[in-house]
Amino acid sequence: MMNTIMSNTSARPQTAVLATNKVIRSTYILLSMTLLFSALTAGVSMALNLPHPGLLLTLGGYFGLLFATAKFRNSGLGIVFVFALTGFMGYTLGPMLNAYMALPNGGQLVMTAMAATGAIFLGLSGYALTTRKDFSFIGGFLMVGILVGFLAGLGAFFFEMPGLSLAVSAMFVLLMAGLILYETSNIIHGGETNYIMATVTLFVAIFNLFTSLLHLLGFMNGDD
């Protein structure tokens, strides 16, 4: 009787660990695929010199596809909407990259922002995975910060306030770094068990981190 109880007790944590490892593995596989797909759509957008869809269409497409992804996160359609969402975001990135590439040292700026984004993501994810610290306590702060940053970004756009826009970019670098830590920790500790939603969260963090760094680097270089 005692052996049976001890066996069941030890089996639960082992089962939870296996489930967590599966979510981590599936998340990073899907994240790698969506990043490549987004890069492909961005490249096509750049090559065809497609125009930016504009703020309203971008927000409508983003939130609409995000809602669809969340709604179908437990079915095969969720995968389809993940690629639709990340592909759409890649398309919107293309015109922005073309604008930076047209600058005298635009290629260097883009590569620097890309390298910094990769280093930050790998560093923070690696830290969360190896230390297994629980960063759930920053969830509320991130939610409020992202909402404030989003509203401030809209204000900077509509009222043409470049100083505020820069402040929002700097704010989002910190917020997205925190989001990477939070979501990775969330996966490790079983707070996020759906790899589709985990992928979307990490992708959005990487995307916003890259565009924010690009904006800041462009300003510091005197080209933005």
Question: Percentage of the chain surpassing pLDDT 70?
Answer: 93
pLDDT of res. 23: 93
What band does 19 get if pLDDT is binned at 50, 70 and 90?
A: confident
- pLDDT above 50 for 3: no
How far apart are alpha carbons 77 and 130 in whole angstroms? 33
How far apart are alpha carbons 14 and 28 in whole angstroms? 21
What band does 224 get if pLDDT is binned at 50, 70 and 90?
A: low
Q: What is the mean pLDDT of the chain?
A: 92
Q: Hey, is 102 helix, strand or coil?
A: coil
Q: List pLDDT tens digits, range 79-113.
A: 999 999 999 999 999 999 999 999 889 999 999 99
CA-CA-CA-CA dihedral for 109, 98, 81, 183, to nearest 10 = 10
Are 201 and 66 contacting, i.e. CB atoms less than 8 angstroms apart?
no
pTM of the model: 0.92
- pLDDT above 70 for 6: no
Residue reference for tokens 């990487």? 206
Q: List pLDDT tens digits, range 168-205.
A: 999 999 999 999 999 999 999 989 999 999 999 999 99
pLDDT of res. 104: 86
Helix axes 76-101, 106-131, angle to 10 degrees: 140
- H/E run at residue 156: helix 139-158
What band does 148 get if pLDDT is binned at 50, 70 and 90?
A: very high
